[in-house]
Structure 1
Amino acid sequence: MSNESINWDKLGFDYIKTDQRYLSHWRDGAWDEGTLTEDNQLHISEGSTALHYGQQCFEGLKAYRCKDGSVNLFRPDQNALRMARSCDRVLMPAVSTEQFIDACRQVVKANDRFIPPYGSGGALYLRPFVIGVGDNIGVRTAPEFIFSVFAIPVGAYFKGGMKPHNFLISGYDRAAPSGTGAAKVGGNYAASLMPGAEAKKQGFADCIYLDPQTHSKIEEVGSANFFGITANNEFVTPKSPSVLPGITRLSLLELAQSRLGLTVVEGEVHIDQLDRFVEAGACGTAAVITPIGGIQYKGKMHVFHSEQEVGPVTKRLYAELTGIQTGDIEGPEGWVVKVD
C-alpha cells in the first residue's frame, strides 16, 4: 500500500500491512541482534507454547508526527519495563530496554511514510510482542522465543471530537486474584471478549470489571484503566495486584499532580460510592482518555458529569497529555524519545 492511497481522515484501528517489521530470535540462552523484514507472516512450530498454553505477551505504544516534522515515541522505556515484567510472569526471557527501544526506533524509521501527518489526530501504532515457539508438547516453557515489533497507522480515536460513553458493570471476572491480571498477556484479553460483546449488544461501549474476590470495587474498564475526579480535586484510580499498570494511567497520575494541582489517590474504588466522583474516565494507549458518561449497575444508571459533555478536568488532562505526545507541550524529562 502506498501512503498516497491512505485517507488519513478515515483511518480507524485496523490492520494495515506496512513496509518493515522487526524480528529477533532467542536461542541458546540469548536474543540475537534482530533484523527488519518485509515478511508479515510468522513461521513457527505447530508445537509452539504460544499456541497451546498462551505463553506470550505484548505491548502497545505510539509514534507521533510533530509540527516540525520530527517523530516522538512516548515513554517507550515504560513499555519495555512492563513487557519485561510480563515475560517474567510467564517464564519467558525478557528483552532489554535498550533492544526494545532500538527495535521500536528501527520500525518507526522504516515505516516513516505511514506515520499520519501532524494535526490529523492519527499516529503510528507499534505492537511489540514475545511468543514461545519451537517443537514442544509438554506444559513447560518454550525452547525458543520470538520478539517482534510491527506498526500500523491508526486514526483519531474520537471522530468528530471526544464524547462520553456509557458502561455496564460485568458479572464476569477479568482475572484471578493472584493470576496474570497485572501482566499484559493474551489470555486476559481472550477472557474479556464475551463480556465485552454482551455489553455492546446492550448498547454500552464496553463493560467494567469488579475485583474478583469481593465484586465490590472497580478494577478495569474493558481493556483500559479507570479514574475518577472528586469534587475536592482528587484524581482517584484503582490499585490492585490484578490491575494492569497502564502507561497512560501512570502518566495521568503524574500530570494530574504536577500540572493540574490535583491530589492523586491510588486506592479502592467501591461500586456503591460512585457519588464521590464528579467526572470519570477510562485511560489507555488507544484513546488516551475515554470519558465515562454513566455506569449501569444492577439496573440503575449512575451519571457523572454528563452523558453528552466532557468534564473540564478530563478535557484539561487530555489536552496536556496529547500536547506532550505531539511535541506541542514540553513534557517531563525522559517522556519523549526522538526517532532520528
Structure 2
Amino acid sequence: MSSEIDWSKLGFDYIKTDKRFLAVWRDGAWQPGTLTEDNVLHISEGSTALHYGQQCFEGLKAYRCKDGSVNLFRPDQNAARMARSCDRTLMPSVPTDMFIDACQQVVRANDRFIPPYGTGGALYLRPFVIGVGDNIGVRTAPEFIFSVFCIPVGPYFKGGMKPHNFLVSGYDRAAPNGTGAAKVGGNYAASLMPGLEAKKRGFADAIYLDPISHTKIEEVGSANLFAITEDGKFVTPKSNSVLPGITRLSLMQLAKERLGLDVIEGDVFIDKLDAYKEAGACGTAAVITPIGGIEHNGKLHVFHSETEVGPVTKKLYNELIGIQTGTIEGPAGWIVKV
C-alpha cells in the first residue's frame, strides 16, 4: 500500500493502515492491550458513546527525521489532556505510560506509512476512549475501549503557508460551564453547521465568540487563536470553554523563550482587532493557519495581509516545524523517539 502512495498528494483523509492498538476496561481496570489488523469496532448497540456522547479523543503526529529516526511531539501532553477529558465525562483515564507506549507501538507497526522527511507529511495518530457495553440508562458505561489508529497525512498547506479569511459565527461552540475545555465529539458536532455555512460563503471556517457576552473570540473552527499586538505581544484567549491545545501551549513557550515576546492569556475582543498586526489559528493538523482577515457583522478586518504571512507568524511556524522534524533542538522533554 505505502509503495502506491503519492506522498506529494496526501491530504487529511482516512487511509487504512496495517495495525492499531486496542485495550478494554472492565472489572475496574484496563486489560492488556494488543495490536490488531481489524479496523472495525464491534460494540453493543446500547453503548453510551452512541447514545449519550460518552467519548473523547486526541490527535498527535509522528515525524520522520532527516536521519531516518521518528519523533513523537509532546505525547505526554496529549495523555494529560485525554485524562482530563476522561475525568470530565466519567470515564477511566488512560495512564500516561500506557498512552505513550500504545502510540509508539502503532507508529512502529505502521512505519512504512510514515511520509519521508522533506515531503511535509507526517503520521497522524488518533487515540480515543469510548463508553461501550450493554446499557440504556443515562449513566456511565459498564466497559470502555481505548484505541489508537494512524493515517499518513500531507502538509496542510499546499504550496506553502497562505493566509485564510474566517467568518464570525452567531452559533456557540460550547456552553460557558460545559465541555468546551474537553476534547469530546459533541463540541465538534456543534461546529459542523456553522463551519459549513462559513465555507459556503467562501471562508476557511467559522470563528466562535464567548457564549455569555458574544464579545470575545474563543476559538477558530477546531483550532486555537493567537494574535500579535502592534507592540509585539503574543496574545491567546483564556476561557473555561477553550480547548487547551498542545500547539497553542508550545507556541506560548516558544514565543516567550525563543522570540522574546511577552505572552498574555487574556481577552481578544472582536471589536478591538485593530490592536493586532498578525493573527493565526493553531492546532495539530495545521500547526499554524495564518489569518488574513476576520469578517464580523458584514465588515472584513484584515491583519498583516490577505496574501502574505506576517513575519512573527512565519518565525513561530519555522521554529515549531523545525523542532518537530528534528532540525532544531527543542525544549527538554518535547520530543519522544519511537
| Normalised-by-shorter TM-score class | over 0.9
Aligned to 2:31: 32
Q: How many angstroms does 1:233 deviate by?
A: 1.0
- What amino acid sits opposite 2:308 in the alignment? E
1:44 and 1:186 map into 2 onto residues whose CA distance is: 18
1:94 and 1:7 map into 2 onto residues whose CA distance is: 38
What secondary structure is seen at the aligned counterpart in 2 of 1:137?
coil
- What amino acid sits opposite 2:264 in the alignment? V
What secondary structure is seen at the aligned counterpart in 2 of 1:128?
strand
Aligned to 2:139: 140
Aligned to 1:48: 47
Aligned to 2:148: 149
1:167 and 1:262 map into 2 onto residues whose CA distance is: 26
Residue pairs, 1:89-108, within 5 angstroms: 89-108=88-107
Aligned to 1:312: 311
What secondary structure is seen at the aligned counterpart in 2 of 1:16?
coil
Q: How many angstroms does 1:189 deviate by?
A: 0.2
Residue pairs, 1:166-315, within 5 angstroms: 166-315=165-314
Aligned to 2:77: 78
Residue deviations 1:219-252 (CA, integer Å, cap 9, x gap): 0000000000012110000000000000000000
- What amino acid sits opposite 2:295 in the alignment? Q
1:328 and 1:29 map into 2 onto residues whose CA distance is: 44
Identity of aligned residues (%): 82
2:62 and 2:42 map into 1 onto residues whose CA distance is: 28
The gaps in structure 1 that reach 5 residues or longer are none
2:228 and 2:93 map into 1 onto residues whose CA distance is: 36
Q: How many angstroms does 1:115 deviate by?
A: 0.1
Residue pairs, 1:60-75, within 5 angstroms: 60-75=59-74
Residue deviations 1:150-177 (CA, integer Å, cap 9, x gap): 0000001100010000000000000000
What secondary structure is seen at the aligned counterpart in 1 of 2:219?
strand
- What amino acid sits opposite 2:193 in the alignment? M
Residue deviations 1:119-141 (CA, integer Å, cap 9, x gap): 00000000000000000000000
1:32 and 1:118 map into 2 onto residues whose CA distance is: 36
CA RMSD of aligned residues (A): 0.3
The gaps in structure 2 that reach 5 residues or longer are none
Query: Size of the alignment, in residue pairs?
Result: 338
Aligned to 2:8: 9
Q: Which runs of 4+ in 1 moved over 2 A?
A: none
